[in-house]
Structures are given as structure tokens and as C-alpha cells.
Structure 1
Amino acid sequence: MNLTKTIFLLSIFFFFNHLCAIDRQIDSVDHYLNAVENLVDYRDVFKEEFLDIEFLLQKNEHAQGKDKALTLLSLYTAYIYKSAELANNYNDQAMALSEKLAFREGVLKANYNRAYFLFVLGDFEESMKMVLEIQKVVGTTTYPEIFADISTLKSYIYTERGEYDRALETGLRLLDSGEKSKNDYLLMKANSALSHYYLRIENYSKSLSYCLKGLHYILKLKKTQYIYPKIDEIARMTAKLNDPKGALKVYAFFLEMEKKLPPAGSYISASVHSNMAHIYMTTGEHEKALNHISKALEINFENNYRFRIPRALTVQAELYLKTKDTSEAIINYEKSIEAAENIDAFDVIKRNSLVLSELYEKTEQPTKSKDYKILYQALNDSLFSNEKEQKIVILETKRKIKEVVQRKKILELENIAQKAKFRGIIIILILLLITSSISLFSYLKVKKKNKLLLLRTVDLAAIQLRMSEKLSEIQFAETQWSVERKSADIPKTQPRIDKDIKNIILTKLANLEKENFFLDPQCNLHQLSEQLKTNPKYLSQVINQEKKSNFNNYINELRINFLLPKLLKDIEFRNSKLSYIAFSLGYNNLNTFNAAFKKRLGILPSNFINELNNSFEIKNKSLKPPYKLKRIG
């Protein structure tokens, strides 16, 4: 047995080294299905990794302490897609034992399992509450696997709610953390989150790519509980990429795996039936499609999988449209919207309300058509869909740039390996020498100029402080007068909604600025709009038009303007650690603070503070009236 394990591990080692060296194979579906089959052939060697229930039950009888808690958690994982009652029973036992042993990791994992189960049932709100509680005590360095689990679950929930910008941001942050730490588990979960996101926005090519990358790490880590869901995802996306025959071939592979492994369970089976219904619908085999979607709905309702019901009803509605049964299609679309409202699946509501609007228009029912069109428009303008497309474009662009850089590094390394290594090293050393020489020359040349720039910046900051103190009252009075005048000019019989909203937002914003709302680390467009009781879209427009800035630059401007007088007046505060200064302004990390300060004043805060301290000692006369600074305390 040991020899067999050794041989297998060596083969896996060379297999994955080969995968890393040949990146272009990563999108090969057949390649990964063969790898799955190879791993499954060793299921008897790795019974614990394959969650063999009989093996785990025997182990549970003899295990003690933390080992028993972990075994109970494994039994939860083995049963989660098969029997919710048994799964939750084992999870509750694990929770009770972990609390008794003060086993923090066991408690956190059991809590995550509860949050995930709520997600499976479609209770996104309660699931997210639990995730946010767990997030307070985990990180990439403390319990990295639990951090990856909850980050992925967050991205799933955002995606199902239609909050696509948040889902993408969460997935990309997790991917960056995985790449920086080279943690395979983080990379596995990040690729899963991104695959789910791109599936929902119907970018099936990207979704499949991330799915296969995730499968790479599933195989490497032998996290076999994800094999069935990944095969299902691959088949679904293959079908969406206009290859129904290829998708059916993948599902045939799925059935072969069920002969070798325990059945997938009702939760995954429901998804398989729903996806197969969609495939047969595209090939015109409507009878087969109806059988599969009926089976999917039966499983979902029987197990109360509220998360899957709206999409299954949508597939059934699409099938009725294919068969020209418009009335049944309308009934199923309306049922899907009702089911989606129960779980806040706003993307389903938005999409299907638009379809219903068009169907009612075709069937000459203008009132109902108008009602659904209004519902669609309201959701389209809501919090969940009016986030600027620029944010997603920026995130995707950053990701693309990073991928290009990584590919370039790989190509460079391969090219160097093919050529004479010593010659390459010599060239690199020469380039480094030239670069260092140029950098040193440039540094010496501009050092004096930078010194003058620092002194000038300090003087300008002092002038700014003096002027801001004199003009603050005048500016406030002018703002108030302007708002009142605008409000008075608007006839009460014909209210101008846009100007009313703008004036209200500006007044509230001015009051919040006095209260230094921008020092809150949690300050963002959503939180501020809720505080002002307005739509993020209107708030963003007002800031763009009236403040001549986007939201982030507006907040940074307020923070740096708040900071400058404190640096000039308060010696003790000025000599605090930069991290403390950044935190007191509401920045969560020093890099963001440095970037904001430099953008505002042209120099780093550390250089500014050093020069300010030097000015007090060397250029004392520059601090005399009208630039004299008050010493606090």
C-alpha cells in the first residue's frame, strides 16, 4: 500500500509540474477529465480524501479531541449534497465538541458550514450575516482556508443578488491574495468564485477558463467533494458555448464517475437535470427537455432548494416558448419572479420582467406589459445595477494586465532556458549596472530640485491653512445662501425634481463634512447614500457635477485637507507613526494613504513631515506671522 501511494504521489507531482510548465493546456476539457479519471482510479488508496462514508464512520468511533471534531466536519461535507439532515447533525456535533475543546478552527469551520447551508436554501441575507461575523476573525495568515471559503461564499451571494461589481471585486481580491501567498486552496476557491461570476453575466468562455483552472487545484489538493459540481459546470458552459454534443459527452463522463464513486446527491442532480433540459431544448428534443426540467423542479421543491427554483422555472418557461405555448411560458416566468423575490435574486427578476413585458405586449395586454417594464426599469436603475461600468472595466483591465505580465515572465524564462544561460545572466547584469548608473545620476541631478520642491510645498501648505481659516465662514455662508436661493426660485406648483434633489444632497453633504464623516474607514458610496437617504446614482452625479471630482478623489481631498492643519499645528500628532496617521484619517492601509497624499501635494507624507520638522528647526523665521502655527496643548 505504501509503495502504491508513493508511486501515485510521484506521478501526481510530475503531472502537475508538467501542467505548470505548459500553461496553454489549461483550457483543455478532455485533458482535465482524463486527470479526474486518473485520480478516481486511486479512490481506494485515498479513502479519507474521497470522503468514504464507511471509512469516516469507523474513524469517528475511535477518534478523540480535535481529530474527532475534524472527522465530524468531514462527515458533514460527505453528506451535504445527499442528506441535509445528516449533514447538519454531524456539523452540530462538531460545533459542540469544538466549543468544549476551545478548538477555534473547528468552531469557525462549523459556522461556515451553517452559512453555506443557508446559501443552498436561498437564505442569502442570513448567510451573509454569518459570513461577515466570521470575516472579523479570519484572514490570509490566520485560518487562510476559512478565509477563502467565506470570501468565495460572499462572491456567490453577491452574484446571485445581481451585485456583479462586488462579486467580481471579491473574487479578484481573493485571487490576488492566493497569487501573492502561493496558497493553492485560495487559488482553488478564487477561480471558483470568478467562474460563478462570469457564468451569471453570460461570459461563458471566461467562466469555463476559470472553472478549469479551479479544477487544476481541486485535483492537486484532492478536494474530491468538488469533482461532481465541476463536471456539471464544465458541461453547462460547453453547452452555452454552442457545443451541445460536447456537453452531452461531458455528462456521459459524469454518469461514468457515478458508477465509480458514491452518487452525486440531490442538490447536484437537480442542477444536472436542469442543465440537460437546456441542452435538449437547444437540440430541439423538447420531450427529453421537459422530462429533465420536470425532474429538476421535483427535486428542488422536495428539498426546498429555493436557490435553484427560480432558474429551473425560467428554463421551463423558455421550453414552453420553444413549443409555442405562450400562456404556459408566461405562467412559469411569473412563478420564477415570485420565487426569485423570496430570495432576493434580483438578476432573475430583472431579466424575466423584461421578457414578460415583451410577451404581454405581443399578446396585446398593454397594462401588464407596462407594469413589468416599470419593474425592469426600477431594478435597472437600482443599487444592484447602476454601479459604474468603469469600475468593472478597471478591475478587468488590471486583471488582464497582470495576466499579460505573468505570461510575459513565463515566456522570458522559457526563452532564457533555451538559450545560453551564462550569456543571459551577463546581459542582465550589464543592464542592471546601466540602469543603476542612470538612476544614481538622475538622483544626484534632481536631489537639489526636490529639496526646493519640498520647501515650497511646506510653505504653500502653511499659506493654505491661513487662507482656509479666514475663508471658511464666508464659504459656508455663501453655500447656505445659494441653496436657499435655488430652493426659493423653484415654483411650488411646478417643482423641479432634479434641482430639489441636488440641493438636498448638497445641504446634507455639507453638514456631514462638518461632522468629518470622511474619517470613517467604512465610508463608501453605498454607505454615504444610505446615510443621506438617496440613490447612489444621484449622489455620484452631484459629486461629479458640483465637486468636480469622482467619489474616491472627493473623499481623499477632504481627508488630506483635514490632515494638513493638524500636521502644521500638532507636533505630537505630526511625529506619530505614519500608519497611525493614515488610520486616523480612515485609510485601511498605508499605501492608499501615501498615494492619496502624493496625488494631492506631489510628495510622500513622510518627506513632507521630515521637511516640516526641519523647517521648524532651520527656517524658524518662515513660521512667524502670518504663518505662525499654534501649538496645541
Structure 2
Amino acid sequence: MFIGVTRKIFFILFIGFFKLLLSQEEYSDYQKLRQKFENIEENDARAFPFLRPYISKAKKEKNYKELVQGYKDGVFYSSENRIKLKYSDSMIWAANQSKDGDLKSIAYLEKGVIYYYHYKKFQQALNEYLKAYEYSKNTKNEFLKYQNLYHIGVVKSYLGYYQDASELFKNSLEYYDREKSRSNLGPNAIYNSKKGYLNCLHQLIICYRHLEQYKEADSAIQIGLAEVGNNPEYAQEKGYFLLSKGISEYRNNQFQLALSNLNQSLSAIKKSRDFSRLSLDYFYIGKTYYSLKNAKESMIYFKKVDSIFKENQFILPELRENYEILIDQSKKEKNQTQQLYYTTQLLKADSIMSKDFTYLSPKIHKDYDTKTLLEEKEKLQKINYLGTIVIIVLIIWAIGMVTLFTKRHKKAKEVKKKYVLLEEKFLVHQIENVPKKLVFPVEERKSSLNESKVEELLQKLKSFEDKKEFTQKGLTLSKLATQLNTNSNYLSQVINDCKGMNFNKYLSELRINYITNLLFENKEYLKYSIETLAKECGIASRQNFSDLFFELNGIRPTDFIKNRKQELDNKNNL
């Protein structure tokens, strides 16, 4: 018991130690390249002009880790499913070149997700998941481990093993819940963990519904809706929870409420291109109208389910009833042609589901469940050898932690010193909202410009600075030239000659000096997030704002805010 607890404690501390080490590193060239496209939405091919240089750089340098990431981005931004598959195959190739088990697991998992999510080909998806699982068995990457468990749970749920699947989702849910709440994670890690949490919660709701654990399902739905709120980043997940809520309301004969939530969920589910959940949505809208004695309207939605099945050759087991209703309605209308068609469609659906079940059911038990039991047995056999290893590694960890905290203390002193220098600069100069460059005398200007026109343009620039118009989002040299009734080349030349810098540098200094001034003078701004501060001064990217702040002030905005708050607290306590 003691060894098991010690091992768990060590593992948590060990992972924390390496995450702290990684947090000290500066942003790489690859990360700078990714900033150009990482905010573009999924399935938007406009990302590729920026993504291709990233992939080319990784290929040239044989940096397979970054190459896997580049191909993964290719999957994410491709608008066509066949292109997504091609990029996933490239991911697998790059991962195999790297000899890294984690990268191989990520690559096979990605291909499995394409087969599951975009094609609903469960057989191919499970084959890829099991390959991913094989490579992830010895991983130290907890996120990757639970990703694999989640996807195996999805297959189990599809097969009807809801109790087994629910246990996998509960374990994954617990992990993602811990991760999304950690204060030392970056925004991307928090976002991914919350996505994992919401997806697990949605799958768990499905299991609860089929296990007739309706109270637990309704509770989970409320938790999910509270988590997503109105955040557009989680619109798809909100659509799933609204769908689940509509199904619950239909079950409780709350038909008008059901229609409202089912219809609200449609937009997000359509946008996500998840045709299986779209079918489910249409089915329950049809059933709701059917219960309201509006057979004509209900048939419209039941036929939409058939259209999706016809196009994709996939149907969820619970939608079998859709064809039973259509067949009964055809009998009532004495329409033998339709009755024959829907009977043929039902037989085809039964054939597909039967084929999937025959293939998947024994494979998931043999290739996953049996392996899992054998792995647990091996772990129990090895546990007696771990005590000594844990002690040795803990000693190494302790030495590493002392080194790390010494390094962090030294860095904290340097940050404090830079903050004091910046504060002195503020007190002396009151940080004007203009770049700290002298205007060049006429004789020192690099080119011959019409002096009167230059003075006129400088007055316009002064007005532009005084009115804080530099905080406009998406401001470019061309846009500013239009606003000032001049042309881009002339404006660029005046800024270069008279301000001593190019347009981008000029705009950056205006914005960063402006926000720095606000942070010094108004303590309310210290409560704002980095994203909000960036938007306040007209910078779209959080990372770009942080880098520019550091470049001009010698200190990261998070460090500046921390030191400013401490200084104000100290003054208040005097």
C-alpha cells in the first residue's frame, strides 16, 4: 500500500517538475509560424498558405515531432475527408521515422478519429485505436493515455456495452476535470483538457440514457450546459448537450420544450458535420411531432434520417425505429412502393449494424479487454521491484527540484529588477503614448521629402496618437494611409524618416506604451486577462501581445501584473 501511494505521489511530482522545466523555454520558430494560422477555424483551407512553410521547415530539418504536428494541423484544416486521410497517413509516416512511441500513438489515434467521426467506419476506426493503444501502454503522457481510453469507450458504447463504456468515460472525466482546473497550464492545454472533459461528459450522458439512469443523465446535462455557457469555442459541445436535453424532455412528455432545445442544437451539429448526431436530432424532432399528432411534419424529419443513411451508409442502432415508423406510415397510406423501399432500407441498416457488431465485439474483448487484464497482472508482478527504484528516482527528483527552484528564484529576482527599472522609467517620463524615439531633424532625414507635406502628415499622426486610434484592431499601413488621405509609400517613408522606425515597430510601441501606462495608472486593468489587454490595445494575438510587451519593456505582462499587484498590496498594508 505504501509503495503504491509513494509511486503515485512521485509520478505527479515528476510530471510537474518537467512541465515547470518546459515552461522556462522561449517560444520556438515553429511556434511563431503556428501563430499565423492557429486561430483559423477547423476545416478552413485558408490556413494552408501559412501551414505549408511550417511543414517544409520541419521536413528540411528532419524534425519529425514538428512534422507530425504540421500534418496534424493539415488534418484539422482540410475541408475534404479524403485529404484528411492523406494527411493522417503522412502523420503515421513521420511518427514512424521519429521512433517515438507517443507520436506513433497520436498518429494512429488521429486516423482512427477520422474514420469514426467523418466516415463512421467503426471497423477501421477500432483497428487504428488499438494500434494507438499498443503504443500508448508505456506512455508517460497522461493526456494521450486518456484520449485512447475515451475512443475505446466510444466503440464500446456503440456496441451497447454501456456499463463498461461508462466506467472508461468516468475515469477519463476525472482526469480531464483535474487537468482543466490546474493553474499552471497554458491556455491551449486548458482548452484541450476542457474539450476532453466535455466530450467525455457527453458520451457518459449517452451511456446513462441507455442504462435508464435518467437522474444521472439530467444532472450531467446541467453540468455540461453550465460548463459551456455561451462560449463560442464550445458551440459544438453545447449543441450535443441541448440535443441530450431535448431527448430527456421528450421522454418526460415535455414536447414543446423538447422541440425548442432540439431545434436550437441543429445549427451547431450541422456546422460540426457530425451526421450521426444530426440524424439523432432529426429523429427525435420527428418523434416529438409524431407525439403531438402532427404526422405530416414528423414524416419530413424521419425522411431526413433516411437521406443521411442513404448518403453515408451508417446509422446508430437506436435509429432503427425510424424505419419501423416509416414502414407503418406507408402501410396506413397503402403506399406499397414506399413500404418496399423503407423495408429494404431497414434490412440494409440491420446488415451494416450486424456486420459491425460481429467484427467489433470479439475484437474489442480479445484485443483490448484481455490485454488490459494481462497488463494489470504484469504490473502487480513488478510492483515489488518498484520501491527501490522510486527511492532512487525521488533522490534525483529532489536534486532536480532544488536546482529548478534556485533557477526560478534567480529569474524572479531578474524580473523584479526589470520591473523596478520600468517603474523608474514611468515615474520619470510618465510613459507617454508615443514611441520613445526622437524625431529626426530635417538634415538627418534619409530622403528628400516635401517639408510642408511632412509637417502636415506629422500633425495628422499626432492627432492619430492623441485620439488613441492606434488601438483599432487589424490596422495596417494601407488602412492608416487611407484614413490620413495619403498613400502607403509616402506614409511609410515619413514614419521611417521622422519616427526612426518602420510602421510595424511604430504601431507596436504606441500600443504597448498605451497599455503599460494604463496598467500603471489604473489598478482595474490589473484584473484583466492577457487576452483582454491585448484586445484593449488593438493586438489580436495573445502571444504576439506578450512577445511585444517583453521586447519593449523587458518583462512579460504576467510578470509585470504580478509585481504591480504586490507593490500596490505592500502600499495598502503600510
Q: TM-score, normalised by structure 1?
A: 0.47
Report the Cα distance in structure 1 between the residues aligned to 2:357 and 2:336, rounded to whole angstroms: 32
Q: Could you list the per-position Cα deviations for residues 461-480 of structure 1 after superposition, in whole angstroms to 9, with x for gaps in the alignment?
A: xxxxxxxxxxxxxxxxxxxx
Residues 365-391 of structure 1: CA deviation (Å, up to 9, x unaligned): 332121122233345446x85368266
Q: Give the aligned partner of residue 245 of structure 1.
A: 215
SS of equivalent to 1:284: coil
The one of 380, 402, 408 equivalent to 2:371 is 402
Q: Does residue 134 of the first structure (1) align with residue 69 of the second (2)? A: no
* Displacement of 1:295: 0.8
Of residues 303, 326, 336 in structure 2, which corresponds to 1:334? 303
Q: Which amino acid aligns with 2:213?
A: D
Aligned-partner Cα distance in 2 for 1:342–1:117: 23
Asked if the contact 2:102/2:139 (under 8 Å) is kept, the reply is no
Counterpart amino acid of residue 205 in structure 1 = Q
Q: Aligned-pair distance for 1:294?
A: 0.5
Flag the 1:286–1:385 CA change in 2: closer, same or farther, 3 A. same
Are residues 247 and 182 of structure 1, via their aligned partners in 2, closer, same or farther at CA, if it must alter by over 3 Å?
Answer: same
Aligned mate of 1:230, from 196, 200, 206: 200
- Partners of 2:357 and 2:154 in 1: how far apart? 21
- After TM superposition, give the deviation of residue 174 of structure 1 in Å: 2.1
Alignment of structure 1 residues 106-125 onto 2, 5 Å: 106-117=66-77, 123-125=80-82
Partner SS, residue 242 of structure 1: coil
Task: Specify which of 366, 376, 381 is matched with residue 336 of structure 2.
Answer: 366
Alignment of 1:320-399 (within 5 A): 320-345=289-314, 351=320, 352-353=322-323, 355-361=325-331, 363-378=333-348, 380-381=350-351, 386=355, 389=358, 392-399=361-368
Q: 1:202/1:350 Cα in 2 relative to 1: closer, same or farther (>3 Å)?
A: same
- 1:552: which partner in 2? none
Q: Is the 8 A contact 1:69 1:98 kept in 2?
A: no
* Counterpart selection for 1:257 from 197, 205, 227: 227
Among 36, 43, 53, the residue aligned to 1:96: 53
Residue 198 of structure 1 corresponds to which residue in structure 2? 156
User: Can you list the C-alpha shifts for 1:91-122, whole angstroms capped at 9, x where unaligned?
Assistant: 7534434424645544442332342455xx7x
Letter aligned with residue 165 of structure 1: Q
Instruction: Using the TM superposition, give the Cα deviation of residue 216 of structure 1 relative to its aligned residue in structure 2, in angstroms.
Output: 5.0
Residue-by-residue CA offset, 1:176-215 (whole Å, 9 max, x unaligned): 3211456534422321221222233333223222223334
Match of 1:282 among 251, 255, 267: 251
Q: Does 1:65 align with 2:65?
A: no
CA offset at residue 275 of structure 1?
1.7
1:399-426: CA deviation from partner (whole Å, max 9, x where unpaired) = 3333333455667789x89xxx9xxxxx
Q: Structure 2: which amino acid aligns with 1:175?
A: Y
Whole-Å separation in 2 of the counterparts to 1:341 and 1:63:
48
C-alpha displacement at 1:142, in angstroms?
Answer: 3.6
Alignment: residue pair count: 359
Residue 186 (structure 2) aligns with? none
- What is the CA deviation profile of residues 68-108 of structure 1, one whole-angstrom value per residue up to 9, with x for unaligned ones? 135557646xx65xxx65xx656753443442464554444
- Following superposition, the deviation at residue 332 of structure 1 comes to 0.8
Q: Which amino acid aligns with 1:282?
A: R
1:317–1:328 Cα contact (<8 Å) kept: yes
Within 5 Å, which residues of 2 pair with 1:622-633?
A: none
Residue by residue over 1:547-599, the C-alpha shift from the partner in whole angstroms, topping out at 9 and shown as x without a partner, is: xxxxxxxxxxxxxxxxxxxxxxxxxxxxxxxxxxxxxxxxxxxxxxxxxxxxx
- The 1:64/1:135 distance shift into structure 2, 3 A limit, reads closer
Aligned partner of 2:149: which letter? Answer: N
Contact 1:310-1:348 within 8 A present in 2 as well:
no
Q: Does structure 2 conserve the Cα–Cα contact (< 8 Å) formed by 1:156 and 1:197? A: no
Equivalent residue for 1:478? none
- Flag the 1:233–1:184 CA change in 2: closer, same or farther, 3 A: same
Which residue number in structure 1 is paired with residue 500 of structure 2? Answer: none
Go from structure 1 to structure 2 and tell me whether the alpha carbon gap of 1:359 and 1:226 turns closer, same or farther (over 3 Å shift). Answer: same
1:34-91 Cα offsets, whole Å, 9 max, x none, are xxxxxxxxxxx99x99xxxxxxxxx9xx955123135557646xx65xxx65xx6567
Please tell me whether residue 187 in structure 1 is matched to residue 159 in structure 2: no
Aligned to 1:170: 128
The equivalent of 1:208 in structure 2 is 166
Cα separation, 1, equivalents of 2:328 and 2:154: 28
Alpha-carbon contact 2:55-2:71 (below 8 Å) kept? no
Instruction: Name the SS for the 1:137 alignment partner.
Output: helix
Q: Counterpart of 1:188 in structure 2: which amino acid? A: Y
Q: How does 1:461-540 map to 2 (within 5 A)?
A: none
What are the equivalent positions in structure 2 for 1:306-317 lying under 5 Å apart? 308-317=277-286
CA distance, structure 2, for counterparts of residue 64 and residue 149 of structure 1: 21
Is residue 17 from structure 1 mapped to residue 8 from structure 2 by the alignment? yes
Contact 1:314 1:333 survives alignment (8 Å) = yes
Q: Aligned equivalents of 1:128 and 1:406: distance in 2?
A: 32
Indicate the residue corresponding to 1:628 in structure 2.
Answer: none
| Secondary structure at 2:94 match in 1 | coil
Counterpart of 1:213, as a letter, is N
Partner of 1:267: 236
C-alpha displacement at 1:282, in angstroms? Answer: 1.8
* Change in 2 beyond 3 A, CA 1:288/1:177: same
Check 1:300–1:215 CA distance in 2 against 1; reply closer, same or farther (3 A cut).
closer
Deviations 1:210-249 (A, max 9, x none): 2233345545686424233233333333333222332222
**SS of alignment partner, residue 136 of structure 1:** helix
In 1, are the aligned partners of 2:64 and 2:98 still within 8 Å (CA)? no
> Does the 8 A contact of 2:330 with 2:339 survive in 1?
yes
Output the amino acid matched with 1:318: K
| CA gap 1:155/1:213 in 2 versus in 1, 3 angstroms | farther
Aligned-pair distance for 1:333?
1.7
Structure 1 pair 391–301 and aligned structure 2 pair: CA distance change class (3 A) = closer
Task: Write the letter of the residue equivalent to 1:194.
Answer: I
Contiguous gaps of at least 5 residues in structure 2? 13-18, 180-188, 388-574
Partner AA of 1:214 in structure 2: S
Structure 2: which amino acid aligns with 1:184?
A: E
* Conserved? CA contact 1:94–1:106, under 8 Å: no
Residues 1:241 and 1:178: Cα distance change in structure 2 (over 3 Å): same
How does 1:377-456 map onto structure 2 within 5 Å?
A: 377-378=347-348, 380-381=350-351, 386=355, 389=358, 392-408=361-377
* Contact preservation (8 Å) 2:279, 2:305: yes
| C-alpha deviation, 1:290, in angstroms | 0.7
In structure 2, relative to structure 1, the CA distance for the partners of 1:291 and 1:212 (3 Å cut) is same
What is the 5 A alignment of 1:31-70? 65-70=29-34
Q: CA deviation at 1:344?
A: 4.7
1:308–1:68 distance in 2 versus 1, CA, 3 Å = farther
